[in-house]
Structure 1
Amino acid sequence: MADSTDYLKAYADRYRDMFPVRLVTIAAIVIVGWWLLGWGWAANFAVFQFGLYALLWNVVQTARARPGAPGAERRFRLSTEAVTLGLATHNALFILAVWHSQPQYLDYLRLLLAGNLMVGALQVHISRISFAAAVAPPSIAAMIIASNQPQATTGIKIAVGLFVLGIIGASWRQWRSDRQTVELMVALTERTRELQSALGQAETDRAAAERANKAKSRFLAMISHEVRTPLNVILGLTEVLRGRRRPKAEAVVIDDMAEAGGMLLRLLNGALDISKIESGQVDLRLAPVDVAARIEAIARVWRARVDELGLALEVELQGRREDFLVLTDEARVEQILINYLSNALKLTPSGTVRILARALPAADGRIDLDLEVHDQGPGVPKDQRDRIFEPFEQLAPGRAAGGAGLGLALCRASAQALGGALGVRAAKPQNGAQGAVFWVRFTAEPAPRPTVRAADAGRAAEGALEASTTLRVLAAEDHPANRKLLALLFQAFGLDLVLVENGQEAVQAVAAERFDLVLMDVMMPVMDGVEALSAIRADEAATGRPRLPIHMLTANVFDEDVARYMAAGADGVLRKPIEPPALQAVLLGASQSVGA
């Protein structure tokens, strides 16, 4: 709400704006007075009028300079009222004095009196007292002159009175209009101040949001790198073990390790997509997925946790097995199911958690998939079923069980990316437990039936590599465990691998020896991978050497990171944890280039 300071400044500005017209009017009256009455009368009028206006100017400027001073509004009001009364009274007395001294100028004096009455009434007034001070003296003078004229009849006196009242009435309306104008100006000033404050706050919030977003990006990049690096070793060594002959019991354990590691990697990728999810940009990686097999693998991996909790886990598949093979994003589907299953296990004190999956052919040839997780927990109130899918929103049981409240928000984003829908409904009560059913539905294209098994394809790629010219590969990697993993992987391919520990050693090695391919880590001491890449490309341009294939091998794989690598001259990016098929494809491409 506006304070007295705003009103004081508004009125002070309006008083200041009236000065030019009033001073010109006074100067004109002084000139006419000097011409008709002589310099004495003119000087008297000029001294009093200009002196009072000089005093009023000082009052106005003081109010404009210090509107917030204690008592400033009261002093301004009293001062302007007093000066207005002085101006109007001097005008009236001056006219009466001239009329008494030189009555032959009565017509001129009547015009001057009427003009002063109108101008005084219509000028700026901060209060009703100021308005009365401006109109009372000239009105009284007009009635005195009219009453003391021998030829003045009652009708003339009434006409003069009506004229004065008419001027006062019209000017009163003008004063009210001025008052409303000032109030509008004050309201506009206050609104402008609020908008400026809101704009300043918005700018502050925007800057804070940018800082928070940058901090979040740095945090996610750090998490991505720090988690992917050990996960790269775990999954890489698992793949090495899977490639060796093992007793069946050990092979099953290694397969479960690989499944669990793959799920962890996909969950990591999904969790790191939170920045894209917040902006509504969720990418889909469509590939053939056996949804039934993924559900069975999830249940197998989580079986130990289920047993620890003393619960039972059931899986029910409805539909033909081949209808579960569809083109979809494996990570998104797993993310939804694992979050649902994790919540169900946390919230079910005893009993059975059930996974139900249906695959039904649709009329357009696609497959309708309906996945549900049934728990025997406290259930979700109807009025809370939409809210729990918002980021950081949790019910009391969820908060008690732990978690950040992001899981279901990620599920919703993944379901939307899949073109589907998700939600929760009440389950049939069992053993006194209310229970809930978390569901997701989406439609996918059927995947083509595989003609060659993935393992056979991998062995074919390995055979193609072994049959080709032996590749010389340089790998720059500062982490000892990752270097050991690379040595084991390349040993399986029978390729010539040279390992260095930083970007500077990689640049020196490329300058001194011949290589067919370079795998370059990004975050390394002495010289990082991007600097080394730029140095190699610059040396190629300077010496005319053929372009050497260089692929970045890194855990930093955000879109902006990949764009930076490619801009620096990379031929591709291999993400950590290393995916053997992707590595084989890069090696095969390099081998074919050498053979050509």
Structure 2
Amino acid sequence: MTTTSLGRDQSAGSLDLVVRISDIAATVDDPATACQQALALLIPYTRATAGAVFLPVAGEAGSFVAADVSADHGSGPQAADGSNLPTALAVATPDPVSVDSGGRLLIAVRSSGAVVAVLALLLPDGSGTDATADPATAGNELHAVCTLVGRSLGRVADRQAATEQAASRNTALESEVRRRNDSLTLARQRASAASRAAEAFFTALSHDLKTPLHTILAVLDQPENAPGSADRSSLSADQCRLIRAEAADMLTRVDHLLSLSPRGSDRDGPSQVIVASALTPALSAYREVLALQGQRLSVGLAEDVNEPVLTDSEILLQALDAVMARIVPAGGSHTVHIDVRFGGPRLLTLVTCPNGILTHDDLAALTSPMAFDGAVVTARQTADEVQVEIDVPAHRLTNRRRSSLRQVLLVDDNVVTRRLGAAMITALGYPVTSASSGAEAIEALRSSGFGLVLMDIRMPERDGLSTVAGIRAGEAGAQARETPIVALTANAAPGDAGRSLLAGMDAHVTKPFTKAQLAAVLTDYISPSA
């Protein structure tokens, strides 16, 4: 092939060709497809006998293989003179427009400096009349048109590369967000475990120090030790006052020590909140972030979540944040549903999203027993959606239990405390039954009716919180589920009272307590007519 030229009718169509190929470059996202469509327009425009798109061979610089040799005009991939296009090309650094040794017109498509495709056209020898129109010569119309075609198609490859880079960055970002979330979850679990260990130490310390002090003060408050009593023991009035003062001072020191517990320095645990108000800022933030990703948020709040309750809203928000942090990066046009309601003594928050957004690893991390201290997270998956439920204990403050029965059940593992407590209750005019463990308390409630249960918390085998939860669940029979139960305990660390109420207690009274305090509790929960 020596020279090739365009006729005047072809020259008039150059602008139309460039515009049409520019439209292809603007609307087609796949470079190979765009090159094939452009080739179909170039073949009749250049009067080529055959044409093909060649794509680079991975790992072999300057090597290209035919993507589709069937793109042709007229006689097909084989030219009229018997020559045809090869299935491979070897071009080290092709120019934007060139003619190879086989006489084929080559148009290089570049993206970021690299050749991503080559359009090869087999032109007929001597088909032109303009001797200055060598396709490889800059300055002629064919060269200019082919150069513009290569640049237009290069923009398709640029756009695809930018899209792939953005997707890669998004994937890397999502992976990093998940990694950091997992790291934060692990760190929170470790910190929570350390906090629980420290809290257990302070609780044991409170119990072991305050229980004997309570015993001393209770003994001193017995009628036989009252000033002027004829039955006074060998202790003088001054000795009794001294012992009482020293015991009270020791209690003050113990209370100060307990104020340094992890609960006191971190968070106070359960508190009185209106759930709807506590969730409003977080729900607004979720709605805005989801909107940026093209997603929507639907919120359903039951009417009773506008009432004041005792719950740990901080734990609820931590769990809800963790769920949403794994949903938001997914993007898409779907809707996320958040529904909040009460289920007995529990606050239930249900997050629903389409299936496929939360991975198996996401669900495993969210539902791990160690994920959230104080919240239980479960997941249900169907063919269409995933539901993640956050279960947090809640005590509805509008509930108030009272009884018409006068019989009192006193539960404590310490024999001295049982004796002194029973003496106080009897002196106040109420019949009393004693139990030394949670199991004995449940058995007593099964067999008899009680107007009030006074329960210690720290007991071996089954503690008071577990026992009251079992009573509320019906372990002692349906007739005992609504019996008023008050904690009488040495647990006085910040948050202990809230945890008692969330477990099912009606009140939390700390040791040492006086006879007057005990009388107030009895009249609060047992009707005067009883």
- Higher relative contact order at CA 8 Å, sep ≥6: structure 1 or structure 2? 2
- Structure 1 or 2, whichever has the larger Rg, is 1
Query: Which structure shows the higher helix fraction?
Result: 1
Instruction: Please report the TM-score for the alignment, with normalisation by the length of structure 1.
Output: 0.42
Instruction: Please report the TM-score for the alignment, with normalisation by the length of structure 2.
Output: 0.46
Query: Which structure shows the higher strand fraction?
Result: 2
